[in-house]
Each structure stands twice: as C-alpha cells, then as structure tokens.
Amino acid sequence: MVSSIFRIAEQVQEEHPDRVIQVCIAAVLDCFGTVTKQLWYEGKQDGVVEVDGSLIFTFGKESPLIPAVDVTTDLYYVVIPSSSVALPGGYGINQVSYLKGQTFPFAMINAGSMSMWNSIKASVLGGRQTYFVEGTKMYFPKMTAANTQNILLKLVLGLTNVDVRAELNIPPDMINQIIAMVSQKFAGPVPEK
C-alpha cells in the first residue's frame, strides 16, 4: 500500500485530536523502526535474515556521497546521511558500494578490527573495498585517491532525512501495527505545554 509518514500521522491524529501533527509524526517514526525490528526478528525465526525492500532507503543517487579524507586518521569517509534501524550484525546497513558498482558491494569490518585484518591473508577480501562505522561516519580503510568514487548507501528505514510526505510502499498490516503502537503510547494524559 502506498502511503507516507504524514498520512499515517494524520490517521493517528484523527484518533487523538489533542495531539499536534509534529508529535504524531515523531511518534510514527519511532514506532516505524520498532515494528521493522519486530518483523525482522519474526523473519529470523523462520530463517530469513533479509529485510523487505520496501523498508530500504537509498542515499547517494540524487545527492552524491563524496568521500573526504579524515586528516587525523588519513582514512576516507562519508557522513552517514540518516539513521537506520539497529539490527544485529550490522543489518541496518543493507548495502554499501560505489554508485556505479552495485554488483560489487563493500565488505563490512568491525571498527576495532582493522589491525587484525592487515596481518592475515584474508585481508584482501576478494578485492572488495571495506567499510566500518564510527558514530556518524562510515570509513573506507582500503580507499585511496586513485580509487575514490561517489558512494551508494542503502539503509534499513533510513527516515531521518526523508520527506515525511514522500510516497512509501508500506504494507497495510504494518501501518495498522504502527497506529496501534502510537495509540498505546498516547493512551495516557496529554503533556502540558
């Protein structure tokens, strides 16, 4: 079902007319991530660890993600443009690749394990570029000036910087779960201004 965060927030506001739309939008965004995580865990119990494509948002197409050099560490990085759902094993980051190289995605390494990788034969990782995340930055330890290109980043539910009126392919059962969860949060008294 095509909907938007704003439309879902309007549905919440119909049930809770005492809440302003901005509060409803914030609550919908919070619950959207929670419902996504619940669905992921349910799928994992059935042996499926992939995330539904309707919950993945792509960054780097319209507004390029151009790597810069961190002068302190001498590593290339990009600022991650949005938050993602915190799924175990780094699954909140669905894919990292060069913009014109989606068929050869980067390999994730842990932020603290870079020195361990350097001393073993597997460190080449089949020639793949690698990445790790520290705070709001994604670093690329194998990137050099010669192989720097724009980055394509796919995040699970990266809604932080997404237009709340943008059309999203949200399953109807998920919309109902989000509305029910927000309504449960709003069941108490309205906070005073």
pLDDT at 103 over 70: yes
Q: Is 98 helix (H, G, I), strand (E, B) or coil?
A: strand
Average pLDDT over residues 81-86: 87
Residue 187 is inside which H or E element, if any? none
For residue 49, being part of any structural domain is answered with yes
> SS3 for 6?
helix
Is residue 169 situated within a structural domain?
Answer: yes
Q: Measured between alpha carbons, how far is 150 from 103 in angstroms, rounded to an integer?
A: 15
How far apart, in whole angstroms, are the C-alpha atoms of residue 57 and residue 121? Answer: 34
Asked whether residue 127 is domain-assigned, the answer is: yes
pLDDT of 193 higher than 60:
no
pLDDT tens for 157-175 read 766 667 888 888 888 889 9
Residue 192 domain flag:
no
CB 151 within 8 A of CB 67: yes
On whether the CB atoms of residues 171 and 54 are closer than 8 A, the answer is yes
Task: State the pLDDT at residue 62.
Answer: 87
For the entire predicted model, the pTM comes to 0.81
List, in sequence order, every beta strand (DSSP E) within 33-190: 56-59, 68-70, 75-79, 93-98, 107-108, 130-134, 137-140, 151-156, 168-169
The CA-atom distances, in angstroms, between 17 and each of 12, 24, 125, 135 are 8, 10, 55, 37
Q: For tokens 């009126």, name the residue.
A: 165
**Domain total of the chain:** 1
Range of the domain at 19: 2-185
**In a domain? residue 153:** yes
| pLDDT tens string 39-80 | 888 888 888 878 888 888 899 998 899 999 999 999 999 999
**35, 171, 176 from 46: Cα distances, Å:** 17, 19, 22
